[in-house]
């Protein structure tokens, strides 16, 4: 009787909770570097604002975890495969831990270093679908722009119209949602702020920066226009994630619906 009551209460709590957006995080502390250095990276599937749940990357129906399908960096038009740099870790969120990765990259050359990660689709049991988020993040070395606005022709992609690493607080970020190089009209885009310190030594989320005044502020929703273009104002310094939902050309995986999303991360900096 007590067990049944507990399950009922848990179900009521979950039903009352706000819908939280999934974001493939491709994190490094700083996106604008003065010179060559070794870049620390963390690859985590999470809810960046609320940190309510950390997902196991590559989780399949039945519990198996598939490895990352692709991970590489592009600098001055040259592509370097980074799959062998990925080391499995256990990422600790505030409510649970999940299977994630850490890696390092030696940024020796000037210009933009465009990181692209294509994780294996993740099985979302609550919805009975798979989610795959093809994710971009850019680091610039020494200020010379090179590759930041390149259209990579990905199955799901946000091509920036604003340099993702040189954005002042209070300005805007613009991009075009594309699939295989073609704009996606009226794409639905979720926006979240990475609302926590990231502890690279402990591989864990730290304290929260702000508290949302209402659930609608946790995951903000915008839409692209008829040409796939969008613009969003950025009110606070830190990392912001943009996720265009279901815009990819692949619609099915393992016999189930697949939401193939495009994710890009941009970093905002205060004027001092």
Tens of pLDDT, residues 30-73: 999 999 999 999 999 999 999 999 999 999 999 999 999 999 99
pLDDT in tens, 78-121: 999 999 999 999 999 999 999 999 999 999 999 999 999 999 99
Burial degree of 87 (CB within 10 A; 0-12, 13-18, 19+)? exposed
| Pairwise CA distance, residues 89 & 67, whole Å | 13
Please provide the DSSP assignment of the chain as one string: -HHHHHHHHHHHHHHHSPP---EEEEE-S-SEESS-EEEEEEEEEE-TTT---PBPTTB-TTS-BPPPSEEEEEETTEEEE-GGG-EEEEEE-SS-EEEEEEEEEEE-SSEEEEEEEEPPPEEETTTTEEEEEEEEEEEEETT---STT-----SSEEEESS-TT-EETT-EEEEEEEETTEE-TT-EEEEEE--EEEETTTTEEEEES---SSGGGTSEEEE--TTSEEEEE--SSEEEEEEETT-SS--EETTEEEEEEEEEEEEEE---
pLDDT mean over 150-174: 98
Q: Indicate whether 7 pLDDT > 80.
A: no
Instruction: Give residue-wise pLDDT tens across range 205-225.
Output: 999 999 999 999 999 999 999
pLDDT at 5 over 70: no
Of the candidates 158, 160, 235, the residue with the CA atom closest to the CA atom of residue 193:
235
Domain spanning 2-269 has what CATH number? 2.60.40.1930
Say whether pLDDT at 228 is over 70.
yes
**Residue 199: pLDDT above 50?**
yes
What distances in angstroms separate CA 4 from CA 9, 14, 45, 87, 220, one per listed residue?
Answer: 9, 15, 32, 41, 36
Beta pairing partners, 46: 23
Q: Pick 134 or 14 by higher pLDDT.
A: 134
How much is the mean pLDDT over the chain? 93
Confidence of residue 19 (pLDDT cuts 50, 70, 90): low
pLDDT at 185 over 80: yes
What's the rounded Cα separation, in Å, for the pair 104 and 228?
33
Using an 8 Å Cβ cutoff, are 42 and 24 in contact?
Answer: no
pLDDT of residue 135: 98
């Amino acid at each position: 009787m007590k067990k049944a009551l507990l399950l009922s209460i848990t179900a009521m709590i979950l039903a009352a909770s706000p819908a939280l957006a999934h974001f493939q995080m491709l994190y490094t502390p700083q996106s604008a570097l003065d010179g060559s250095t070794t870049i620390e990276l963390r690859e985590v599937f999470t809810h960046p604002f609320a940190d309510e749940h950390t997902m196991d990357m590559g989780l399949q129906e039945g519990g198996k975890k598939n490895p990352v399908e692709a991970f590489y960096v592009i600098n001055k038009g040259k592509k370097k495969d980074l799959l062998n740099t990925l080391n499995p870790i256990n990422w600790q969120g505030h409510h649970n831990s999940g299977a994630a990765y850490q890696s390092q990259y030696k940024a020796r050359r000037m210009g933009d270093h465009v990181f692209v990660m294509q994780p294996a689709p993740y099985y979302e049991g609550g919805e009975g679908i798979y989610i795959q988020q093809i994710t971009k993040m850019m680091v610039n070395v020494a200020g010379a722009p090179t590759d930041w606005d390149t259209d990579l022709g990905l199955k799901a992609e946000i091509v920036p119209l604003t340099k993702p690493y040189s954005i002042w607080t209070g300005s805007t970020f613009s991009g075009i949602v594309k699939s295989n190089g073609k704009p996606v009209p009226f794409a639905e885009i979720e926006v979240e702020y990475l609302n926590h310190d990231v502890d690279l030594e402990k591989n864990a989320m730290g304290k929260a920066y702000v508290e949302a005044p209402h659930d609608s502020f946790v995951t903000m929703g915008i839409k692209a226009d008829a040409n796939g273009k969008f613009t969003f104002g950025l009110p606070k310094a830190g990392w912001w994630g943009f996720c265009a939902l279901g815009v990819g050309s692949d619609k099915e995986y393992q016999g189930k619906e697949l939401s193939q999303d495009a994710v890009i991360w941009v970093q905002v900096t205060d004027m001092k």
